[in-house]
Amino acid sequence: MTLLAFARGPALQAALLIMIAGIFWRLAGIFLLPPRAQHAAPRHSLAGRIGGGALMIVSRFIPHHTFWPRVAMSVVLSTTFHLGLAIILLGGAPHILLIHQVTGLTWPGLPKGLIVISSGLTLASMIVLLIRRITHPVLRMLSTVDDYLSWLLVFLPVLTGILLAGETIGGYGTLLALHILSVELMMVWLPFGKLMHGALVFAGRWGMGMNFARKGAAT
Partner 1 sequence: MDDRETMTETLCAMLARRGFGRRSLLQFAIAMTSSLALPPSVAPVMAANLAKAKRRSVIWLSFQECTGCLETLLRSSSPTIDSLIFDFISLDYQEALMAAAGDAAERTLREAVAANKGQYLLAIDGSIPIKDGGVYSLTGGRSNVEMLAEIATNARAVLAIGTCAAYGGIPKAYPNPTGAVGVDDLVSGKPIVNIPGCPPVPEVLSGVLVHFISFGRLPDLDDRKRPLAYFGTTIHDQCYRRPFYDQGKFAKSFDDAGARQGWCLFELGCKGPTTHNACASLKWNGGASFPIESGHGCLGCSEPDFWDAGGFYTPLAGGSPPGWRNAGIAAAVGVAAGAAAALAARGRAASARHKAGPSPEETP
Partner 2 sequence: MSSDAKAAAPPAEVPNAGQVAAAVRGFIADIGPTVALALSSCVHCGRCAEACQFYVQTGDPRYTPIHKVEPFRRAYEREVGPFAFAYRLLGLAPKITPDELARWQELIYDSCNMCGRCSLICPMGIDIAELVERARHGMFAAGLAAADFLGVLAEKEHATGSPFGLVRSQFEDMLHAVGRDHGVVMNVDKGTADIVPTVSSIDVKMYPASMAAIAKVLNHMGASWTFRTDGFDADNVSLTAGDRAGQRKITLGIVKAALACDANTVVMPECGHSFTEMRWEAANAFGEALPFRVLQITELIAEGLSVGRIRVNKVPHSATYHDACQLSRRGGATAAPRVILEALGVELHEMEDAGATNWCCGGGGGVALIKRAQPLMDKAFEIKQRQIEVTGVATIYTSCSGCRQTLEHGGKARNWNKTVASLLELVADNLKD
For 23-82, give the DSSP string. Answer: HHHHHHHHHTSPPPP--SPPSS-HHHHHHHHHHHHHHTTS--GGGHHHHHHHHHHHHHHH
CB 22 within 8 A of CB 199: no
Read off the amino acid at residue 12: L
Quote the CA–CA distance of 28 and 21 in Å, as a whole number: 10
Scan residues 23-62 and list those touching partner 1 (CB under 8 A).
Answer: 23-30, 32-34
| 5 touches partner 1 by CB under 8 A | yes
Count Cα atoms within 13 angstroms, Cβ side, for 204: 7
Q: Tell me the site size for partner 1, rule CB under 8 A.
A: 41
Q: Which does 8 bind (CB under 5 to 8 A by kind): partner 2, partner 1, none?
A: partner 1
> How many whole angstroms separate alpha carbon 172 and alpha carbon 89?
19
In contact, 115 and 92? CB cutoff 8 Å: yes
Say how far apart CA 163 and CA 169 lie, in whole Å. 6
Q: Which is nearer to partner 2, 95 or 132 (CB)?
A: 132
143 CB-contact burial (10 Å; exposed 0-12 / middle 13-18 / buried 19+): middle
Q: Quick one: which of 90, 127, 131, 201 contacts partner 2 (CB under 8 A)?
A: 201
Q: How far is the CB of 26 from partner 1 (least distance, A)?
A: 7
86 touches partner 2 by CB under 8 A: no
Shortest distance in whole angstroms from residue 204 CB to partner 2? 3
Comparing CB distances to partner 1, the nearer of 18 and 128 is 18
Size of the site for partner 2 (CB under 8 A): 59
- Between 106 and 145, how does the x/- string for binding to partner 2 read (CB under 8 A)? ---------------------------x--xxxxxxxxx-
Q: Answer whether 84's CB lies under 8 Å from 119's CB.
A: yes
Task: Give the nearest distance from C-beta 182 to partner 2 in angstroms.
Answer: 21
Q: Which of 62, 86, 97, 134 binds partner 1 (CB under 8 A)?
A: 97
Min dist CB 84 to partner 2, Å, is 17
Is 75 a residue that touches partner 1 (CB under 8 A)? no
Residue numbers at the binding site for partner 1 (CB under 8 A)? 1-2, 4-5, 7-9, 12-13, 16-18, 20-30, 32-34, 93-95, 97-98, 101-102, 109, 111-112, 171-173, 176, 180
